[in-house]
């Protein structure tokens, strides 16, 4: 099982990230993703400390011994979450049972791994891994990790009215020490998963907030394709 859980203790840093994300998402009724590398604020320093901290790296080293752990910051995001109850359109793909990426069949021996950290209070939304009989409610500082391509998961519950939920999504390559630095397997795994993350976010934006008929059509087509893939 690839799923892990842990706790990040600097709650003040998480609170600053939460406040920043709430302000940047003001007035939105849809889920909102912010690439960490586009953050123009001192909050970026908090993000950097968290994703390179021993808290994050050691839990990965313990879970995956004899590996190199490499942060993939170009895929890292802040996430202003949608309430699972009532989620519509592309937002449903964030809460219905799904895989985050489709590359489980591309077996390189290198894992693309996601860690999700709760940046503010949550007592009402659960993340479940039905294949592993695991269910977690992440409150401030709690985090869980999953294989981006292989861990099937869902989100249930309801964010209370007049509150919000902020998560930080961090990404790492888990590279066996037996593979040389910059090996083809490492390069291929990084490229495929980063490009998928960027592209899927853009299609989700098209579905949620289309600028024209073409974007609405493309977003709808991708949602149908993703639904079929996850069910198959």
The pTM of this model reads 0.88
The 3-state secondary structure of the chain reads: CCCEEEECCCHHHHHHHHHHHHHHCCCCCCCEEEEHHHCCCCHHHHHHHHHCCHHHHHHHHHHCCCEEEEECHHHCEEEECCCCCCCCHHHHHHHCCECCCCHHHCCCCCEEEEEEEECCCCCCEEEEECCCCEEECCCCCEEEEEECCCCCEEEEECCCCCCCCEEEEEEEEEEECCCCCCCHHHHHHHHHHHHHHHHHHHHHHHHHCCCCHHHHHHHHHHHHHHHHHHHC
* Local confidence pLDDT in tens for the 232 residues of the chain: 688 999 999 999 999 999 999 999 998 888 899 999 999 999 999 999 999 999 999 999 999 999 999 999 999 999 999 888 876 666 676 778 889 999 999 989 999 999 999 999 999 999 998 888 889 999 999 999 999 999 998 999 999 998 999 999 999 999 999 998 999 999 999 999 999 999 888 776 656 555 556 545 555 555 555 555 445 5
| End-to-end alpha carbon distance in the chain | 21
Q: Could you give the CA distance from residue 22 to residue 59 in angstroms, rounded to a whole number?
A: 28
Domain that holds residue 169: 4-231
CATH number of residue 75's parent domain: 2.60.120
Domain count along the chain: 1
């Amino acid at each position: 099982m690839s799923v892990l859980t842990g706790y990040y203790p600097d709650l003040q840093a998480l609170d600053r990230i939460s406040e920043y994300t709430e302000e940047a998402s003001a007035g939105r009724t849809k889920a909102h993703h912010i690439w960490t590398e586009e953050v123009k604020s001192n909050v970026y320093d908090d993000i950097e400390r968290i994703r390179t901290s021993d808290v994050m790296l050691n839990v990965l080293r313990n879970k995956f011994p004899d590996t190199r752990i490499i942060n993939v910051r170009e895929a890292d995001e802040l996430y202003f979450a949608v309430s699972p109850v009532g989620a519509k359109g592309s937002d449903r793909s964030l809460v219905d049972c799904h895989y985050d990426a489709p590359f489980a069949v591309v077996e390189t021996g290198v894992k693309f791994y996601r860690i999700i950290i709760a940046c503010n209070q949550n007592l009402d939304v659960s993340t479940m891994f039905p294949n592993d009989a695991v269910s977690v409610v992440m409150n401030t500082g709690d985090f869980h990790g999953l294989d981006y391509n292989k861990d099937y998961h869902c989100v249930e519950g309801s964010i209370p009215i007049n509150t919000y939920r902020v998560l930080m999504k961090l990404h790492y390559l888990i590279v066996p020490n037996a593979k040389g630095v910059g090996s083809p397997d490492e390069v291929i795994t990084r490229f495929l998963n980063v490009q998928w993350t960027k592209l899927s976010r853009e299609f989700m934006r098209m579905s949620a907030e289309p600028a024209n008929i073409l974007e609405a059509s493309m977003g709808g087509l991708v949602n149908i394709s993703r639904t079929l893939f996850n069910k198959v």
